[in-house]
Structure 1
Amino acid sequence: MQIYILDDDEQVVAANRFLLNAMGHVSLGWSCPRQFLGELEDDKPAILLLDLAMPELDGLAVLGALQQRRSTVAVILLTGHGDVPQAVEAMKLGAVDFLEKPIDARRLATALGQARRKVDRLTEQARVHRCFTRLSVREREVVSLVATGLTNKAIAEQLCVAVRTVEVHRASAMHKLSVANMAELLNHWQLYREKDSDSHKP
């Protein structure tokens, strides 16, 4: 999996690329946050080692931009000794872990394993979100009501339509989402809501 490094200190970028290379990983590095965001392919799964304290755009701002763009990049924060409170805040915003500089190779290996699992989930969320964009407004509405546990009859009453109409929209939505049963439908809805919620975090 591709690993990116973003740190305003080019020497830190070089040192971390050397460490990753020694661990058997290929990496790319940036020292300018705006350049990184401009060149990033949002739909390409990757792991980002992100410096928290940068003068142009700090790590929290970059993390927020990745969420807004629905990026499939999992973030590991790199912090100085005094940045722990901000790093904890970043964890709440979706970062996988934070590592104090200089990076310990064993801790980095553990964090990379966590980040890979996060990338897998982000990738699946992105796929599900693309499926949901193919639903009509009514189909999405029906799915949302199904997810609350309502029966077709109850949904029909709430939407003031025939039960058969609800059945048609529900079947069409399940076909577009490529799900075969209720459990898969509910799982897709949860992933969709999680991704939608993440992208609107402050």
Structure 2
Amino acid sequence: MSPSDNAAKQLVHIVDDDEALRDSLVWLLESTGLAVSAYASAEEFLAAWRPDITGCLVLDVRMPGMSGLELYEKLNGMHSTLPVIFITGHGDVPMAVSALKKGAVDFIEKPFNDRDMLKLIEQCLAQERSQREARRQGAEAQRRIEQLTPREREVLDLIVAGRLNKQIADDLGISIKTVEVHRARVMEKMGANSLAELVQHVLITSPAKAG
């Protein structure tokens, strides 16, 4: 497996109180070229967590002190965007299923196959890269919208609503020529080459606003 440059910048965070399992996973992942950080407890990971960390989280469901599920719920409350894979013992499967319903990516039962674990982690990293890129694009589109003048913003809203130039001119009480000038400036400022692209730029700002 040869991770891309993007994947190499991501970090697989392993949180498990079982030292032997932690060491085994670190060795497995590092042998494929993935960057890994391991933690012996949920509390230890929480102390190191930052909103901007990337990658994914491999989390044991049952640990002394704060459990994996408690950590997961705490991270959700802090709007963490890290995809999570739970490691479970047989008796913990119902808890893991509950976590899936709350947004966890998947769970894997001990003892697990190395190949299955690697496949899950690669899926998580790909998902996280995709989500991060979508957030970046949404934030960039929002930044461009905020650079529009109030009149350009009105024209943009009407364009996205499907209004034609003549209708926009009537709506705003301005000439069609003026609408065309505003429309050209909107397209330029938004970095859009077509009407479809302009609409897409506006639509992707919704996740940015939600986040």
Q: TM-score range by the shorter chain?
A: 0.5 to 0.7
**Offset at residue 46 of structure 1 (A):** 2.3
1:106 aligns with 2:118: no
**Offset at residue 165 of structure 1 (A):** 6.2
SS in 2 for 1:133: helix
1:189 aligns with 2:189: no
1:52, 1:58 within 8 Å by CA — same for their partners in 2? no
Aligned residue for 2:94? 82
Larger RCO: Structure 1 or Structure 2 (Cα < 8 Å, ≥ 6 residues apart)? Answer: 1
SS in 1 for 2:102: helix
Q: Distance in 2 between matches of 1:89 and 1:128?
A: 28
Segments of 5+ residues of structure 1 without an aligned counterpart are none
Q: Which amino acid aligns with 1:178?
A: G
For 1:135, which of 132, 142, 145 is the aligned residue? Answer: 145
Over 3 Å counting, the alpha-carbon distance change for 1:169 and 1:63 in structure 2 is farther
Q: Distance in 2 between matches of 1:173 and 1:126?
A: 22
For 2:37, which of 15, 23, 28 is the aligned residue? Answer: 28
The structure with the largest alpha-carbon Rg is 2
1:37 aligns with 2:49: yes
Identity among equivalent pairs (%): 26
**Offset at residue 99 of structure 1 (A):** 2.8
**Offset at residue 121 of structure 1 (A):** 2.0
Q: TM-score scaled by structure 1?
A: 0.67
1:143, 1:170 within 8 Å by CA — same for their partners in 2? yes
**Offset at residue 62 of structure 1 (A):** 1.2
Over 3 Å counting, the alpha-carbon distance change for 1:146 and 1:9 in structure 2 is farther
Q: Which amino acid aligns with 1:37?
A: W
SS in 2 for 1:179: coil
Q: Distance in 2 between matches of 1:53 and 1:142?
A: 55
**Offset at residue 172 of structure 1 (A):** 3.9
- Please give the residue correspondences for 1:153-192 in structure 2 after superposition, counting only pairs within 5 Å: 153-154=166-167, 160=172, 162=174, 167=180, 170-192=183-205
1:103-155 Cα offsets, whole Å, 9 max, x none, are: 43222232233223323322322222332124237456654554443434555
1:6, 1:29 within 8 Å by CA — same for their partners in 2? yes
Q: TM-score scaled by structure 2?
A: 0.65
Q: Distance in 2 between matches of 1:96 and 1:28?
A: 19
Over 3 Å counting, the alpha-carbon distance change for 1:188 and 1:24 in structure 2 is same
**Offset at residue 59 of structure 1 (A):** 0.9
Aligned residue for 2:3? none
Segments of 5+ residues of structure 2 without an aligned counterpart are 1-6
Q: Name the stretch that deviates more: 7-16 or 160-169.
A: 160-169
